[in-house]
Amino acid sequence: MPHSQTMQTLHSALPELMAEARARANEFETERQLAPDFVDRLKACGAFRVLVPTAAGGLGGSLVEFLEFMMPLAEADASTGWVTAHANICAGLIYASAEPRFRDEFFADPQACAAWSNLPRIQAREQDDGLRITGSWGFESGCTAATFVGGMALLESLAEGGAPRMVAALAPVAEARIEKTWDPVGLAGTGSHDVHFDDVYVPWSHLSVAVGNRGVRIPGGDLRAWHLVHYDRCGGHASRTGPPGAGRGARRVDGKDRPLHAAATAGASVHAAQP
């Protein structure tokens, strides 16, 4: 991402992004994904890296700034808001918890974007150097916009009688197959299709310890705990689904008074201010 991109330039681009999202919403629903050229514009503005520090190529935005950007975008088109929110959460968690080699590889590419799912239907075979995964994940929002895809996987405990290890496994989208199974009444534009791995190799360096597994380690990985403050304090699912929901609600409110926006940003300020 160009270093010229900041939260200020992103907000300057917001009206144009909103107008295009609103004008093309029916197209996105029909195609069951955001259009690739529109995804490229979102990436070029830094819209998928709001929560990533500037030193890593992100915009270094706060949770309040994230919501102030996300809610109007979701008001214009809920599918655009959903995909953008999910991409931001994935990017933030990769920065906060991924093994350093993968983190550096991911953020070195300004076009990099991740999508994952916590609905695995997979078999993961452990090897000395990583995993071999066959199967699929459902409801993988934004997978058609992503450069890395995958999801959660349960591994046996390293200690007898211990709890299973839950990890997030990611591979380049070119090594996966997207099965276009997503055909809902609404939010079709999120492209929440199934992602299938057919004996895909995922090195240990491309695994992260999943939420709820703090302190768990996997072979070969120098992993840090999940500590992204925006995720832990507000909940990853809430951070992904809240802005689109609030944006859609605001659309139903008289344009001059946005009580949902005010309440949501005030709540975010309280969360962000907590020690």
pLDDT at 225 over 90: no
Structure tokens given for 174: 């070119």
Same domain, 64 and 28: yes
Same domain, 106 and 121: no
Q: Among the listed ranges 55-64, 226-235, 243-252, which one has the minimum average pLDDT value?
A: 226-235
C-alpha distances out from residue 175 to 91, 148, 197, Å: 20, 9, 7
pLDDT tens-digit map of 117-154: 999 999 999 999 999 999 999 999 999 999 999 999 99
Same domain, 170 and 154: yes
- Residue 105, domain CATH: 1.10.540.10
pLDDT at 249 over 60: no
Same domain, 201 and 127: yes
pLDDT band at 272 (very low <50, low <70, confident <90, very high): very low
pLDDT tens-digit map of 173-219: 999 999 999 999 889 999 999 999 999 999 998 988 654 444 444 44
- Provide the number of structural domains found in the chain: 2
Same domain, 94 and 184: no
43 within 8 A of 111, measured Cβ to Cβ = yes
pLDDT of residue 157: 84
Q: Which of 89, 46, 114 is nearest to 232 (CA)?
A: 89
pLDDT at 228 over 50: no
Q: Which of 7, 80, 81, 18 is nearest to 45 (CA)?
A: 7
Mean pLDDT of 156-185: 91
pLDDT of residue 135: 98
pLDDT tens-digit map of 92-107: 989 988 889 999 999 9
148 within 8 A of 171, measured Cβ to Cβ = yes
Mean pLDDT of 256-265: 42
pLDDT at 262 over 60: no
For residue 248, the enclosing domain spans 7-110+244-273
Rounded Cα gap, residues 149 and 56, in angstroms = 20
Same domain, 48 and 85: yes
pLDDT at 259 over 80: no
pTM, full prediction: 0.79
Same domain, 105 and 190: no
Domain ends where: 209, 235, 263? 209
Residue 261 lies in a domain: yes
- Residue 182, domain CATH: 2.40.110.10
Residue 226 lies in a domain: no
Same domain, 12 and 88: yes
Residue 67 lies in a domain: yes
Mean pLDDT of 7-23: 97
Q: Read off the amino acid at residue 87.
A: A
Residue 48 lies in a domain: yes
Residue 218 lies in a domain: no
Residue 229 lies in a domain: no
pLDDT tens-digit map of 30-84: 999 999 999 999 999 999 999 999 999 999 999 899 999 999 999 999 999 999 9
Rounded Cα gap, residues 136 and 117, in angstroms = 10
Residue 172 lies in a domain: yes
Same domain, 93 and 21: yes
Q: Where are the alpha helices (DSSP H) in 77-200?
A: 78-97, 100-108
pLDDT band at 264 (very low <50, low <70, confident <90, very high): very low
Measured at the CA of 77, the angle between CA 180 and CA 150, to 5 degrees, comes to 35
Handedness of CA 232, 67, 9, 274 (dihedral sign): negative
Residue 133 lies in a domain: yes
Q: Among the listed ranges 117-121, 243-247, 257-261, which one has the minimum average pLDDT value?
A: 257-261
